[in-house]
Amino acid sequence: MGNGFEANRETRTKLDAKEQYFLDRADEVVAHCRNHSAFVFLEAAALLGYLAKAAGFEGSKGYGRFVREQLQQVRPEYATFQYADGNEDLPEQMYYVLRCGLVHSFSLVPDKAARSHGGRVRSIVLCHRNAGLNHLSRHVEVDAAVFVAEDFAEDLHALVGRLFENARQNGVLANHIVRHLDDHPPISST
């Protein structure tokens, strides 16, 4: 994802601190998987949405591009998953179901506006590893993408490292992330 120039030293120093913050948040998501709560998906979805926006991928189209360009580097199935009807729109379903539905409406059912733009009810099924399902496999009974909490959390952890490494090689991305995080500082317990 290079653009021909690296981030300068000051920006790289800021990126290092910001990366550690997000690695710590991703570690928390991984740790919260142990209690088998559905709320870990809320944390993961919020983290993914924040990273997409910080990297300059805004709105439904930007979010979809972020999943296809960044998250698929961690696990290609995010971009190549195919539903039984032939749709390969998992990034958009993630936007409508996880980001809009779960984060904004506390529900896996997309609202009327999201459905009018292509969000589908039951396009994503959530579970933990103890359910015995495979992450990003197709749940044939409801034609849904299976999201396994522990695998999704580990993918987000890997995404943080990859995104910030890309930013160190891409001054535009680096400056966008630093500027966004300065303008919209993420929550902190201190």
The dihedral region occupied by 121, where left means phi > 0, alpha psi between -120 and 50, and beta the remainder, is beta
Domain assignment present for residue 163? The answer is yes
Residue-level pLDDT at 144: 96
- State the Cα–Cα distance between residues 142 and 139, nearest whole angstrom: 6
Domain assignment present for residue 189? The answer is no
Domain assignment present for residue 2? The answer is no
Q: Which of 112, 110, 116, 111 is nearest to 144 (CA)?
A: 110
Can you state the angle between helices 59-66 and 39-54, rounded to 10 degrees? 100
Residue-level pLDDT at 11: 83
Q: Which two tokens stand for residue 144?
A: 């849904």
Residue-level pLDDT at 9: 81
Query: Quick one: how many helices (H) and strands (E) in the chain?
Result: 10, 3
C-beta atoms surrounding 81 within 10 Å: 21
DSSP 8: P
Residue-level pLDDT at 66: 96
**Tens digits of pLDDT across the chain (190 residues):** 444 466 688 888 889 888 999 999 999 999 999 999 889 999 999 999 999 999 999 988 999 999 999 999 999 999 999 999 999 999 999 999 999 888 888 888 888 988 999 999 999 999 999 999 999 999 989 999 999 999 999 999 999 999 999 999 998 999 999 999 999 998 876 6
- State the Cα–Cα distance between residues 106 and 125, nearest whole angstrom: 15
Residue type, 118: G
- Number of structural domains the chain divides into: 1
Identify the H or E element spanning 127: strand 124-127
Q: Which two tokens stand for residue 11?
A: 């920006």
Containing structural domain, residue 99: 9-183
**pTM across the whole model:** 0.90
